[in-house]
Amino acid sequence: MSKPASVITKLFSKLNELQHLFIIILSAYLIVTSGWILIGRSLRASASFWDLAHVYLGLLTALLSFTFLLSNSLKGKWRQYFPWLRGDFSQLKRDIGGLFKGKLPIAGGSGLFSWIEGLGMLLFVGVGFTGVLWFFMQGSSDALMWRGYHIFLAKSFIGFILLHIVLAALHLLDFIRD
């Protein structure tokens, strides 16, 4: 019985490794093509390929956003990305203090970079959640409200992605200097 369990464990491990790549590809596609879609209160009967692709790949990405948050929160990893849930602000204070002294924050731990990554995961889930609600509220008076939330969170998530790229570059620069 341990043999099937180890196969399942290996499968989930491999999927977890690929999850970040899938998220990057799907998010990039959804962001780049979002200007081409025409969806308001509901998906039209004559919806274009771009509309349909955005909706259904968006639903898949929403599921991935939740599983990504879950996989980054299990086994106590939530403490790294969401230390404020346990009232720990110590490393964040050190990192911010270091910024004023010209020192880059360290990656990992529960400092500034981890806080930003945690916020990014919450934004990602928020984009997915509001997109799903928009989809299921099609035709109702609330659909446009959820569309507005979805667009606001998507723009915020784009801002996070840009910040995430800058922080990753700073991390690599710091790694090269050491």
Give per-residue pLDDT as tens, 135-166.
999 989 899 999 999 999 999 999 999 999 99
* pLDDT for the residue 8: 74
Give the best-scoring range by mean pLDDT among 1-5, 67-71, 118-122: 118-122
Residue 104: its pLDDT value, please? 83
The dihedral formed by the CA atoms of 101, 106, 110 and 114, expressed in degrees to the nearest 10: 110
47-89 pLDDT, tens per residue? 999 999 999 999 999 999 999 999 889 888 899 999 999 998 9
How far is C-alpha 27 from the chain's CA centre? 9
pTM of the entire structure?
0.87
Stretch (H or E) spanning 96: helix 90-100
* Phi, psi values for residue 123, rounded to 5°: -65, -45
